[in-house]
Amino acid sequence: MNVSLALDNQLCFKLYAASRAVTRAYKPMLDQLGLTYPQYLVMLVLWEWHATAPAQPTVKALGERLMLDSGTLTPLLKRLEHLKWVKRQRSAKDEREVHLSLSESGVQLRDQTHALKTRLLCDSGIDLNQADALRDGLDQLLLQIRDVSPSAPTRPANR
């Protein structure tokens, strides 16, 4: 068997397994808040925008930020709106455009989340310097992979 095809040698598998493990670690915290992990990601962006909002906080801009399509975002946003944490409003200029904002309770949810996340980090024993370095490395990986299309010719690997 070709060793390069062994599961444990696959970066994609390590990323997948790590992502699932992190999501599982967040689950008890998010359960206390009544959020799923994808809803939490949406709220993170909306909290960020609440502090320094872009000119047009829209579903489209949120999708670009989270790398998700509107078919995935719409049910998440409907649920967050039902929970009274998010407000959606169609643009008066273009009804295809939906603007987003946080309700007062959505803003307050951030404070609860911060305390729970701090406890999660402390309880897990994660080295914050290592976590920062890993995040920076993943940022670089995303930059390099994001623009690669399946139909584009592949470059030979450096050896």
Evaluate whether residue 96 is within a structural domain.
yes
Domain holding 101: CATH number?
Answer: 1.10.10.10
Taking only the tens place, the pLDDT of each residue in 121-159 is 777 888 888 888 999 999 999 999 887 755 444 444 443
Q: Whole-structure pTM over 0.85, yes or no? A: no
pLDDT at position 1, please? 63
Residue 86: other Cβ atoms inside 10 A = 22
Taking only the tens place, the pLDDT of each residue in 7-29 is 999 999 999 999 999 899 889 98
CB 109 within 8 A of CB 85: yes
Q: Give how many domains the chain has, as a whole number.
A: 1
Taking only the tens place, the pLDDT of each residue in 53-87 is 666 789 999 999 999 998 999 999 999 999 999 99
Evaluate whether residue 127 is within a structural domain.
no
Q: Which domain holds residue 112?
A: 38-117
The C-alpha atoms of residue 78 and residue 72 are separated, in whole angstroms, by: 11
| pLDDT greater than 70 at residue 35 | yes
